[in-house]
Structure 1
Amino acid sequence: MYLNLRRYPGIGVGREVIEQSVRTELLPELRRQAGFKGYCAFWDEAGAGVSISLFEDAEAAHASTDTARRWVMRHQDFFPERGEEVSGECIAHEVSHGQEQGPLFVLVRELDHVPGTQDTRAFVQQRTLPMITRWPGFRGVYMARSDRKESRAVVVTLFDSQQNAAACHDRAVELLKEGLPQVTVSRVIRGESVVLGTAGG
């Protein structure tokens, strides 16, 4: 599984216009691509537009980047500022079974100084991942290491509510301090999903 996280700091038109274009133009184009697994978009607390795309492998994900860029170029008034991007292979991912329809609350942790060691992978598999997946309201988690800067990682969590997402985040940060004290949380991005899509529909 490969993850693309994009964030556009400023918008030049109404949110509804962008959301409609994502639903009717961008998402159908992404779904037609080989290896597409899922898509989620939301507005963060600073008003930025954020999207998370999931693909089977790096090749499919990189092809989707071209699709997203073409969409942005067609709508240059949407995002007057250059977007930010983090991409990488998922070192761990889990989803809950029997997900209900409706919006999800998304919380993204961007991490720096992540050691590329077996100890890190063991910590994730034995402590962080089980804690997150057992948390009340858990819907999904995707942990990816940046393919541009190995010491950087991103953790995307999906929950049924802001309260559950925030409480789990607090516990995850405590665990990091206990098990990987050199890791720093460089940024937290959060918001309620406005567009959700999977390969199945």
Structure 2
Amino acid sequence: MYVNLRRYPRIGAGKDAIEHSARNELLPELQKEPGFKGYCAFWDEGGAGVSVSIFEDHEAAHRSTATARQWVMRHQDFFPERGEEFTGECFVHEVSRDLEPRAGEVRQSPYVLIRMLDKVPGTQDTRAFVEQRTLPMITRSPGFKGVYMVRNDREEGRAAVVTLFDSRPHAEACHARAVELLQEGLPAVTITRILQGESVILGNGD
């Protein structure tokens, strides 16, 4: 499974207009791509637009990048600056069964918190620590909805942890515990950026 993260630091149009276009133009195009698994978008605390796209494999993720760039080109007023991109293989993921609502239920917008990491050792000990300590802590945290752990394709040592929760307090409480675990088990790892916000667009694959 592959994940594409994009962040657009500046916007040149109203958020409502961007959300409407992303929901009604971009998302349907991404959902048509073979291998599409999921998509969410939110505004981070700095006002930047952030999106998370999830695909079955590298080829599907690569195709989606072209689709997203074509959408941006059609709406050049939305984003005056080139977006920041992070793409990589998702080596660990887990999703709560209630992320997708049942028939008749109202969809709850998950709160998204992303940790951008650097100096992550590519060792079996690192993977074991993540699978045995970090992942169980996250998935057992109150309000857990989903987690995707991704290694950057282009820069060794860079990684991202995308977490989805039912509320900001639950997301931040889990984040605080994750930081403590990192300091305990992987002290060389640095957190380079935190991106967080309530999702405004959410779409799942079949």
Partner SS for 2:91: strand
> What aligned pairs does 1:141-180 form with structure 2 within 5 A after superposition?
141-180=147-186
> What aligned pairs does 1:5-84 form with structure 2 within 5 A after superposition?
5-84=5-84
Q: Is the 8 A contact 2:33 2:64 kept in 1?
A: yes
Q: Is the 8 A contact 2:40 2:199 kept in 1?
A: yes
Provide the C-alpha distance between the structure 1 equivalents of 2:98 and 2:12, rounded to a whole number of angstroms: 38
Structure 1: tracts of 5 or more residues without a match: none
Q: After superposition, what is the alpha-carbon deviation per residue over 1:67-100, rounded to whole angstroms, capped at 9, x for unaligned?
A: 0000000000000011001000011000011234
Structure 2: tracts of 5 or more residues without a match: 102-106
Provide the C-alpha distance between the structure 2 equivalents of 1:90 and 1:9, rounded to a whole number of angstroms: 24
Provide the C-alpha distance between the structure 2 equivalents of 1:128 and 1:5, rounded to a whole number of angstroms: 21
Letter in 1 for 2:13: V
Q: TM-score scaled to structure 1, two decimals?
A: 0.98
Q: After superposition, what is the alpha-carbon deviation per residue over 1:39-90, rounded to whole angstroms, capped at 9, x for unaligned?
A: 0000000000000000000000000000000000000000001100100001
> What aligned pairs does 1:86-165 form with structure 2 within 5 A after superposition?
86-99=86-99, 100=101, 101-165=107-171
Identity, in percent, stands at 70
How big is the alpha-carbon RMSD for the aligned residues of Structure 1 and Structure 2? Answer: 0.6
Partner SS for 1:151: coil
Deviation at 1:102, TM superposition (A): 1.7
Partner SS for 1:11: coil
Provide the C-alpha distance between the structure 2 equivalents of 1:150 and 1:121, rounded to a whole number of angstroms: 15
Provide the C-alpha distance between the structure 2 equivalents of 1:176 and 1:44, rounded to a whole number of angstroms: 23
Deviation at 1:150, TM superposition (A): 1.7
Q: TM-score scaled to structure 2, two decimals?
A: 0.96
Partner SS for 2:122: coil
Q: Is the 8 A contact 2:108 2:166 kept in 1?
A: no
